[in-house]
């Protein structure tokens, strides 16, 4: 297992109390696997990335039963060791709006080379070779290394960021909304490119793909986790999640996404909005918007039930799932939740 996270909690301390940005996240990523994390704004996916990459402020409280990378404990590892051994070599990142993360006054190739030189003592020639190879892999011509960021289109900049994340051949690449804001043809190219890179034997990097676009997640992921309000609502193998979803939020998300292959399907919203993550949060955080909630849902915190091997669900009513799946397709069902009335 490349990344093994068990019961991770990241709480931000504020004047008004603790904000539970990540609450009891259990996630694992195997070698050569793409794990997709889907969730909307405020679900905690950015916090998760920052926690793994150690970019959370010092005041944040991070606890976990276990957090290891390739067997090494990265939770209590000293900062210096993390920076030297893990950061960018083991785990690298393509941040959100990565296209804006490039320094406009330096050539793109130079920035990539600098990333290598910051973490290794390879000589310049070797760095150039590595970057050339990666540019080729992401579909950029080697000559583009001499260009400045403003000469690149948004898609090209994103691809150069992906190249930069691969310079040290990491075992895990975290991609935060890699195609958000890009046109659909550009997005398609990048996703196709990622698939091609993974097929080549040399780079067997695992990917943690984080986005709100479940179509992209469906296309790219082997396994999927659905996040909501700082918690993992459902985790399963990709096909199984889509064909046999267990959590009401997953059912809701499926309804809310239009598909050109299902032009007649009615789009259904989930009324309400995500809760504030401040203070004591008893029960299930989706209960307020859930049309299938019972009073117990608001008081008892659901356990993570393994309904099938490898398929975990954060819900106490999983035994009624057949009925829920039938009712979820009807718009009126979603109008009956507490938030809708």
Partner 1 sequence: MAILEVSDLKQYFYLKPDFLAKFAGGKEARIIKAVDGVSFSMETGEILGIAGESGCGKSTACLAVAKLREPTGGAILYKDRNITKMSKKEIRNYRREVQLIFQDPYESLNPRHTVFDLVAEPLRALTDKSKATIKERTMETIEMAGLQPDEYKSRYPHQMSGGERQRVGIAQALVLEPKLVIADEPLSMLDVSIRAGILDLIRDMSKQMNFSCIYVSHDLSILANISDRLMIMYLGRIMEMGATRDIITEPRHPYARALIAAIPIPDPAYKRPIPEIKGEVAQPIDPPPGCRFQTRCLQVMDICRNTEPPLKELKPGHFVACHLY
Binding site for partner 1 (CB under 8 A): 40-41, 153-156, 183-188, 191-192, 212-216, 218-219, 221, 238-239, 242, 252-261, 263, 267-271, 273
- What sign has the CA pseudo-torsion 211, 216, 220, 226? positive
Helix axes 184-199, 154-165, angle to 10 degrees: 20
Return the half-sphere exposure (C-beta side, CA atoms, 13 A cut-off) of residue 233.
28
How far is residue 196's CA from residue 209's CA, in Å, rounded to a whole number?
16
User: Closer to partner 1 at the Cβ: 5 or 251?
Assistant: 251
Shortest reach from residue 164's CB to partner 1, in Å? 20
Beta-bridge partners for 36: 209, 224
Shortest reach from residue 157's CB to partner 1, in Å? 12
The 10 Å Cβ neighbour count of residue 93 is 23
User: Closer to partner 1 at the Cβ: 11 or 334?
Assistant: 334
**Would you call 208 exposed, middle or buried from its count of C-beta atoms within 10 A (0-12, 13-18, 19+)?**
buried
How far is residue 12's CA from residue 278's CA, in Å, rounded to a whole number?
9
Angle at 5 between CA 316 and CA 242, to 5 degrees: 50
The 10 Å Cβ neighbour count of residue 180 is 14
User: Closer to partner 1 at the Cβ: 8 or 35?
Assistant: 35
- Structure-block tokens of residue 83: 């920076």
User: Closer to partner 1 at the Cβ: 63 or 259?
Assistant: 259
User: Closer to partner 1 at the Cβ: 6 or 154?
Assistant: 154
Structural contact between residues 220 and 191, judged by C-beta atoms closer than 8 angstroms:
yes
User: Closer to partner 1 at the Cβ: 133 or 139?
Assistant: 139
CB within 8 Å of 204: residues ≥ 6 apart: 31, 32, 171, 198
Shortest reach from residue 215's CB to partner 1, in Å? 4
Shortest reach from residue 116's CB to partner 1, in Å? 27
Shortest reach from residue 180's CB to partner 1, in Å? 10
**Alpha helix stretches (DSSP H) within the chain:** 45-52, 79-81, 108-119, 124-137, 154-165, 184-199, 214-220, 238-243, 248-256, 295-299, 321-328, 331-334
DSSP class of 299: H
User: Closer to partner 1 at the Cβ: 58 or 261?
Assistant: 261
User: Closer to partner 1 at the Cβ: 74 or 216?
Assistant: 216
Structural contact between residues 33 and 223, judged by C-beta atoms closer than 8 angstroms:
yes
Shortest reach from residue 44's CB to partner 1, in Å? 14
Shortest reach from residue 219's CB to partner 1, in Å? 5
Residue identified by tokens 């990491």 is: 170
User: Closer to partner 1 at the Cβ: 18 or 191?
Assistant: 191
- Structure-block tokens of residue 118: 């910051």
């Amino acid at each position: 297992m490349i990344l093994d996270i068990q019961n991770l909690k990241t709480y931000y301390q504020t004047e008004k109390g603790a904000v539970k940005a990540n609450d009891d996240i259990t996630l694992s990523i195997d070698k050569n696997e793409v794990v997709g994390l889907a969730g909307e704004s405020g679900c905690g996916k950015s916090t998760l990335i920052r926690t793994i990459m150690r970019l959370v402020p010092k005041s944040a409280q991070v606890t976990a039963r276990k957090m290891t990378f390739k067997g090494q404990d990265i939770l209590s590892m000293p900062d210096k060791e993390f920076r030297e051994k893990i950061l960018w070599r083991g785990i690298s990142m393509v941040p959100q709006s990565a296209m804006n993360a490039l320094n406009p006054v330096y050539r793109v190739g130079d920035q990539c080379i600098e990333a290598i030189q910051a973490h290794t003592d390879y000589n310049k020639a070797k760095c150039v070779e590595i970057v050339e190879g990666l540019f080729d892999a992401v579909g950029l011509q080697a000559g583009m290394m001499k260009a400045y960021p403003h000469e690149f289109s948004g898609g090209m900049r994103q691809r150069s960021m992906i190249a930069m994340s691969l310079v040290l051949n990491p075992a895990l690449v975290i991609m935060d909304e890699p195609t958000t804001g890009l046109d659909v043809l550009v997005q398609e190219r990048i996703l196709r490119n990622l698939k091609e890179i993974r097929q080549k034997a040399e780079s067997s990097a695992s990917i943690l793909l984080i986005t709100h676009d479940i179509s992209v997640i469906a296309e790219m992921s082997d396994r999927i986790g659905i996040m909501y309000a700082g918690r993992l609502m459902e985790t399963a193998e990709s096909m199984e999640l889509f064909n046999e979803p267990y959590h009401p939020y997953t059912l809701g998300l499926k309804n809310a996404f239009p598909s050109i292959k299902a032009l007649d399907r009615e789009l259904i919203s989930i009324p309400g909005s995500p809760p504030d993550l401040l203070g004591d949060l008893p029960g299930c955080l989706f209960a307020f918007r859930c049309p299938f909630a019972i009073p117990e849902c608001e008081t008892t915190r659901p356990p993570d039930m393994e309904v099938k091997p490898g398929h975990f669900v954060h819900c106490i009513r999983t035994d009624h799932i057949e009925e829920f799946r039938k009712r979820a397709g009807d718009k009126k069902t979603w109008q009956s939740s507490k938030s809708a009335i």
